[in-house]
């Protein structure tokens, strides 16, 4: 009888220690808050977060957004209204207004939403401000970009007509994917020129201020 108790005693102590540790852990978990919680590094957190094998940069995502909305406008307005608007200038007028409205209300707001810090994606917008003035400016700017896209289509078709000798044949028609790429390309080009001019004026202003001092 004594030997049996001596054999069971370590097991009892082991079980009591097990429950005591779990009770202490549950107590610490219930009382945990920001004041008594240990700091965990970002590298340690990344070990427990699921990551996709395909990594897409934030800039690529923003460029996709800026491509997708003009492509959608082409699909719904140029393709969708082509049967109702026989005149090309009416189609361009409606499309330009739609592009400006979509840019102001959807594209720019999506860019602001995905920005990690305030104003991070403003450099991807021609008109980063938000309000009634930006609404009008985005429509006017959309007409400018649309004019260059329309001119590019005409130049490509005119060049193809000269090569093939068939002026009545349209080699490159308007479709959403390429239209969105053309629109994105001219949009980024104008935005880059805007930043170049802005930076040039800032540098000149700094130099003027240094000379005055």
Contact 184, 149 (CB under 8 A): no
pLDDT at 62 (0 to 100): 95
Please tell me the least confidently modeled range out of 44-53, 55-64, 111-120, 174-183.
Answer: 44-53
- Rounded to a whole number of angstroms, the distance between the first and last alpha carbons of the chain is 100
Map out the domains of the chain as residue ranges.
7-46, 58-196
- Stated pTM of the model: 0.73
Residue closest to 81 by CA, chosen among 68, 67, 94 = 94
77-95: average pLDDT: 90
Mean pLDDT, residues 101-111:
97
Q: What is the mean pLDDT of residues 100-113?
A: 96
CA 125 to chain CA centroid, Å, is: 11
Question: 164 falls in which pLDDT band (50, 70, 90)?
Answer: confident
Report the alpha-carbon distance of residue 126 to residue 145 in Å, rounded: 11
Say if residues 141 and 126 touch (Cβ distance below 8 Å): yes
pLDDT value at residue 33 = 62
DSSP-assigned letter for residue 81: T
Local confidence band at 45 (pLDDT 50, 70, 90 cut-offs): low
Distances (CA, A) of 123 to 30, 51, 62, 113, 196: 46, 28, 11, 14, 11
Report CA torsion sign: 129, 130, 131, 137.
Answer: positive
pLDDT of residue 213: 47
Here the tokens at position 165 are 């000798």
């Amino acid at each position: 009888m004594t030997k049996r108790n001596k054999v069971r005693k370590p097991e009892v102590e082991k079980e009591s220690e097990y429950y005591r540790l779990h009770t202490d852990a549950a107590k610490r978990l219930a009382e945990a808050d920001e004041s008594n919680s240990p700091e965990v590094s970002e590298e340690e957190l990344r070990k427990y977060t699921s990551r996709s094998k395909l990594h897409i940069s934030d800039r690529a995502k923003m460029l996709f957004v800026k491509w997708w909305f003009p492509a959608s406008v082409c699909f719904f307005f140029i393709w969708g209204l082509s049967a109702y608007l026989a005149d090309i200038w009416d189609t361009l007028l409606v499309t330009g207004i739609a592009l400006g409205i979509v840019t102001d209300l959807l594209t720019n707001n999506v860019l602001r939403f995905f920005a990690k810090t305030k104003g991070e994606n403003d450099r991807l917008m021609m008109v980063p401000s938000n309000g009634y003035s930006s609404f009008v400016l985005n429509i006017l700017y959309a007409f400018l970009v649309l004019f260059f896209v329309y001119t590019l289509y005409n130049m490509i078709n005119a060049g193809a007509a000269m090569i093939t000798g068939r002026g009545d044949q349209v080699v490159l028609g308007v479709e959403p994917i390429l239209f969105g790429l053309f629109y994105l390309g001219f949009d980024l080009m104008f935005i880059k020129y805007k930043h170049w001019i802005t930076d040039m004026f800032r540098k000149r202003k700094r130099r003027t201020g240094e000379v005055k001092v």
